[in-house]
Amino acid sequence: MAKDHFRFKQFTVWHDRCAMKVGTDGVLLGAWAPVEGVKRVLDVGTGSGVIALQIAQRAPHARIIAVEIDPEAARQAASNVAASPWADRIQVACADFAHFLAEEPFDLIVSNPPYFVHSLHNPDASRTQARHNDSLPYDILFRHATTMLAPEGTFCLIAPTSLHLDMMGAAFDNHLGMACINHIFTKPGICKRAIYSFKRKPPMGMLPVHREEHITIHDEKGNYTEEYRQLTAPFYLHF
Say if residues 34 and 81 touch (Cβ distance below 8 Å).
no
Distance CA 118, CA 134 (A): 8
| pLDDT tens figures, 47-101 | 999 999 999 999 999 999 999 999 999 999 999 999 999 999 999 999 999 999 9
Residue ranges with strand state E in the chain = 5-7, 12-14, 40-44, 63-68, 90-94, 106-111, 149-160, 176-187, 190-200, 211-216
pTM to 2 decimals? 0.89
- Could you give all domains of the chain from N- to C-terminal order, each with its CATH number? 5-232 (3.40.50.150)
| pLDDT tens figures, 106-165 | 999 999 998 634 434 444 444 444 443 444 689 999 999 999 999 999 999 999 999 999
